[in-house]
Amino acid sequence: MTGSQFLQILKCLTGESLRQAVASHLFPLLLFYSAMIITLAGTVRFTNIPEASSYEIAQRAPVEEAARVGKEELEKSGIPLIQGEIRLLFGAVKIPWVKFRENAVRYFESMLVFFTSDAVGLIFALIWTAGFIPEFLQGFWWNMLRLRPLSTGFMLLGKTFSIVIVLSLHGIILIGGSWIALGISTNVWNGLFLWSFAILVVQFICFYPASVFLGTWSRSTMVAIIGSIAFWAICWMVNQARISNLSATTAESSSGVAIWLIDIAYWALPKPIDFSIILSDLMGTIKEFPPPTAWMNALETGHIMPFASIGTSLISSVVVLWFSCMELKDPVKE
């Protein structure tokens, strides 16, 4: 197969997945969800929160300054503390704020990623795309596809890749749209927020193969939805168990065999908590919205190794995809 033929196939399958995505029952809900997130980002307003770059110590001081020099000292010098407000949804929600505008944006962004590229965003993406593979493998249509001179595994991989492209397109709209809306409404353009797009796509590549496998094995959308969410939950628990073990004192820690088993499971499965921590670190939001202490400790003590974590998660997804392809093995080659 030539490169141009490969691209042609990928283009067709992407077009098919795009139509499938738009035709899915969840698409209107997804549009509404995306519009809501972008609207939320676009309606952020700050009251009495100065920018760090234009901050004049003689006018107002952030809360850290008060902690450093002492509140009384600061009051004696006549410098007022920042006592601002973040307003969301046209003022319907008000959050008191005592730091700079940049900090406020990072704080808001760290909340936003939870709904776009972290847990909620990812689970939403998994539910949305869970039916794509079972539909693709629907009896008659799959027989039509099997009558083509290509291996069934190649077709499944092509379809999976096309779904990743569709998800990425949606990610561009959701995350790019939120970033632009937030930038316009706050005048703070934090480019690091765009890392959340990369993490969303990588996380999806790591978790979606489980849905592909379940869809291939059962040909059922419901099994793919429930199974892929359960898989994410198991991965999350294994990840949390390992972090807990790392930060546990000798008396609290699990038995040697349990630690060993958790370690094996940790390295063999995708690591959702690691992804969250890596994302917070990349975006620089970790100070504004600090994760649980155990997670912070794991990061600070070097137990979360971003490249190893992402690399092994990707390897596990390749293994699951391989099993999915085996599930579809051509009957005449058995």
Partner 1 sequence: MTECILKIENVSKAFKTIRKSKIQALDNLCLSVPKGAIIGLVGSNRAGKSTLLKLVLGLIKPDSGSITRFSKPVSDRSTLKHIGAVLESPIFPSHLTPTAILHILGSLSGIASEDLSRMIIEALTKVGLEDRQEQSVGGFSRGMTQRLLIAQAILATPPLLILDEPLEGLDFDARQKVRDLLIDWRQEGRSVILVSHELEEIEALCDRIILLANGKILRDEPIENWRGNSQGPFLQKAMQLACANTTPIG
Which positions from 12 through 31 interact with partner 1, judged by CB under 8 A? 12-13, 15-16, 19-20, 22-23
Residue with Cβ nearer partner 1 (115 or 161): 161
Pick the binder of partner 1 from 64, 73, 75, 330 (CB under 8 A).
Answer: 330
Question: Which stretch, 9-17, 174-182, 253-261, 313-321, contacts partner 1 (CB under 8 A)?
Answer: 9-17
- Binding of residue 332 to partner 1 (CB under 8 A): yes
- The residues, ordered by sequence, that sit 6+ positions from 138 with a Cβ below 8 Å of its Cβ are 219
Which positions from 61 through 80 interact with partner 1, judged by CB under 8 A? none
| Token code pair at residue 99 | 């730091």
Residue 33 and residue 31: Cα distance in Å, rounded?
A: 5
Question: Which stretch, 11-19, 48-56, 201-209, 289-297, contacts partner 1 (CB under 8 A)?
Answer: 11-19
Residue with Cβ nearer partner 1 (23 or 251): 23
Closest distance between partner 1 and the C-beta of residue 201, in Å?
A: 24
- Binding of residue 3 to partner 1 (CB under 8 A): no
Closest distance between partner 1 and the C-beta of residue 143, in Å?
A: 6
| Token code pair at residue 153 | 């595994």
Pick the binder of partner 1 from 9, 63, 119, 268 (CB under 8 A).
Answer: 9
Rounded-to-5 percentages of helix, strand, coil across the chain = 70, 5, 25
Closest distance between partner 1 and the C-beta of residue 146, in Å?
A: 6
Residue with Cβ nearer partner 1 (72 or 334): 334
304 and 277 Cβ atoms separated by less than 8 Å: yes
- The residues, ordered by sequence, that sit 6+ positions from 109 with a Cβ below 8 Å of its Cβ are 182, 190, 193, 196, 283, 285
Closest distance between partner 1 and the C-beta of residue 19, in Å?
A: 5
Residue with Cβ nearer partner 1 (23 or 92): 23
Which positions from 124 through 183 interact with partner 1, judged by CB under 8 A? 135, 138-141, 143-151, 155
Residue 106 and residue 210: Cα distance in Å, rounded?
A: 33
Tokens 């601002």 belong to: 84
Closest distance between partner 1 and the C-beta of residue 156, in Å?
A: 12
- Name the CA dihedral angle for 36, 41, 47, 51, rounded to a multiple of 10 degrees: 170
Closest distance between partner 1 and the C-beta of residue 145, in Å?
A: 7
Q: What are the C-alpha distances in Å from 307 to residues 139, 271, 273, 312, 313?
A: 41, 12, 14, 8, 10
Residue 236 and residue 239: Cα distance in Å, rounded?
A: 5
- The residues, ordered by sequence, that sit 6+ positions from 58 with a Cβ below 8 Å of its Cβ are 79
Which positions from 34 through 63 interact with partner 1, judged by CB under 8 A? none
Closest distance between partner 1 and the C-beta of residue 144, in Å?
A: 6
Closest distance between partner 1 and the C-beta of residue 136, in Å?
A: 8
| Token code pair at residue 240 | 């949390």
Beta bridge partners of 61: 81
- Binding of residue 1 to partner 1 (CB under 8 A): yes
DSSP letter at 333?
G
Residue with Cβ nearer partner 1 (12 or 120): 12
Contacting positions for partner 1 (CB under 8 A): 1, 4-5, 8-9, 11-13, 15-16, 19-20, 22-23, 135, 138-141, 143-151, 155, 330-334
